[in-house]
Amino acid sequence: TRTLRLRSDGTVTDTQTLKRPNLGQSAPPRPARTTMAQLHTTRLLFSLLLLALQLAAGFLAVPQPQPSPRSLAIVRGATDWDRLILEDEDEDLVFEYGNRDPPPRDMKYSIYNINRQREHYNSIREVSSKDLSNDVYARDPNTDTYFFVGKIARVSDVTPASAVARQYNLIEEHSARLRPIELYPSWGSIELWLAPGDSELDVAYCKPDIRFIRVDREVDGSIEVPNSSCGFAGELYESNEEGFRTQRTEDGFAAK
């Protein structure tokens, strides 16, 4: 502090006093600093909260359509087999046995049986050669067109005829579902024919040494074959695929 004083003799004195700080008194607290990381985190949480509120508002505002049975099956991870069955149900395909005995329970056309026989087919093929497998063709007995419908595999002590007869219902119904226009009208009398395993290319080129062999619906002893001793991998079409077919004579040789 600076002070000017007038003395009695007419002179002026100039004094200056320095004020010492009170060391016993604490300084007022400073406000805490907000770091950039904290600010960024706060903004991010606020943005996520705002987005969640917007999504919830939009979901509640728009009526949600109820899925059809087909779309529900696909959402739940249904396989191509599921879609094949559902499409056929939409087309009102009815599979009755008439005067015939119904198939064994393990050969009824169901997703469980289909997948099990496909797994058996894959397991047999992994440890055997193509000599223990055959290509399967289905035919309306009133035509000369044979449709490729899948492949079978078997263990060495099971004949090709027994392997087909054991799975006949599964293969025949699959054929009718795969070709509903051409084969479904002949359900119950569809013929199944065997070609050598993996011979599609030779069949396409109509090689004369490739002969199809017809298999009967019932073969002695086939009912005793364990379902694990044979397998069937059915053909499936993708993207409106037309499928493979061939013209053959009544003896199973190439017609052209």
**Class of residue 250 by CB neighbours under 10 A (exposed 0-12, middle 13-18, buried 19+):** exposed
Q: What is the pLDDT of residues 114-150, one digit of tens each?
A: 999 999 999 999 999 899 999 999 999 999 999 999 9
Backbone angles phi, psi at 15, to 5 degrees: -115, 150
pLDDT value at 234 more than 70: yes
Sequence-ordered list of residues with C-beta below 8 angstroms from that of 61, at least 6 positions apart, any chain: none
- Eight-class DSSP state of 195: E
Reply yes or no on whether the pLDDT at 231 is more than 70: yes
Contact indicator for 147, 195 with CB cutoff of 8 Å:
no
Give me the mean pLDDT over the 97-115 stretch.
92
Helix (H) / strand (E) containing 5: strand 2-6
Give me the mean pLDDT over the 204-208 stretch: 95
0.85 surpassed by pTM: no
Rounded mean pLDDT, 204-214: 96
- Are 174 and 118 in contact, with CB atoms under 8 Å apart? no
Q: Of 4-8, 33-37, 92-96, which has the strongest mean pLDDT?
A: 92-96
Answer yes or no: is pLDDT of 31 > 60. no
pLDDT tens for each residue of 161-180: 999 999 999 999 999 999 99
DSSP alpha helices (H): ranges in 138-238?
A: 160-166, 168-178, 200-204
Non-local (6+) Cβ contacts of 44 within 8 A are: none
Q: Is 15 helix (H, G, I), strand (E, B) or coil?
A: strand
User: Residue 42: is its pLDDT beyond 90?
Assistant: no
**Cβ-proximal residues to 78 (8 Å cutoff; 6+ apart), any chain:** 86
Task: Read off the pLDDT band of 34 (50, 70, 90).
Answer: low
Tell me, what's the pLDDT at 30? 56
State yes or no: pLDDT of 68 exceeds 50: no
